[in-house]
Amino acid sequence: VQKLNVDFLVGGCLKWLCGGPGACFLYVRPDLSAKLKPSFTGWMAHDNPFAFDTGPIERASGSYRFMNGTPVIPALYTCRAGLEIVSELGVENIRRRSVEMTTRLIELADERNWKTTSPRDPGCRAGTIALDIPNAEAVSEELLARDFLVDYRPKAGIRIAPHFYNTDQEIEDVIAEIDDIIATETYRKHLAGAVKVE
């Protein structure tokens, strides 16, 4: 954020930062912090919150001036281990590995003539690849039933989001599982409109 000289950055620790729900953050460039008066605030933004003073708020300095309600302490403790792991591995290393895995997913999709809705340029691509194959929603449901953690989004397809802890074999396995699902008689009949896949 300092290299980019951003004004603000808002994020959460869920998913890519390996934390649980409820932990999020706001960065405000330090030279802007004292100049800004947040319109949405709470008791923790007060200079002395535990005095429980009434009347106009006397804002804290630094990041606390942007606080509102009581921090979700369990969520903050839950996210720490994931942040430590990400920090230890390094974002650059995680990104490099992500590009390798998502590139391999695109290669495997291309070999099968499956449409991908994710950008092909790694510089424009996040860590998710979406496969827009026929009957993607039903295939996604079957993958979930077979313990493959994916999800489905309309007009995007089956989203596969490998992270640093995934292996090359798992990339191959999820594609092989899709091959197996679409090769079934039930799937072929569903495409023909003869049966409903459940």
Two structure tokens written together for 140: 């996604």
Beta strands in 94-156 (DSSP E): 115-116, 129-132, 151-153
From first to last of its 198 residues, the chain has per-residue pLDDT tens of 889 999 999 999 988 999 888 898 889 998 888 888 888 878 888 888 888 888 888 888 878 888 888 888 899 999 999 999 999 999 999 999 999 999 999 999 999 999 999 999 999 999 999 999 989 999 999 999 999 999 999 999 999 999 999 999 999 999 999 999 998 866 776 666 654 545
Angle at 191 between CA 190 and CA 194, to 5 degrees: 45
What confidence score (pLDDT) does residue 196 get? 52
Contact between residue 116 and residue 133 where contact means Cβ atoms under 8 Å apart:
no
| 89, containing H or E segment | helix 73-89
Q: Is 10 left (phi over 0), alpha (psi -120 to 50) or beta?
A: beta
For residue 104, give the 3-state DSSP assignment.
helix
What confidence score (pLDDT) does residue 193 get? 63
CA Rg value for the chain: 23
Torsion of CA 99, 101, 106, 111, to 10 degrees: 140
For residue 36, give the 3-state DSSP assignment.
coil
Q: Which of 26, 24, 28, 5 is nearest to 15 (CA)?
A: 24
C-alpha 64/C-alpha 74 separation (Å) is 19
**Distances in Å between the alpha carbon of 97 and those of 102, 104, 107?**
9, 11, 15
Q: Which neighbouring-strand residues pair with 10? A: 26
Kindly give the pairing relationship between strand 151-153 and strand 157-160: antiparallel
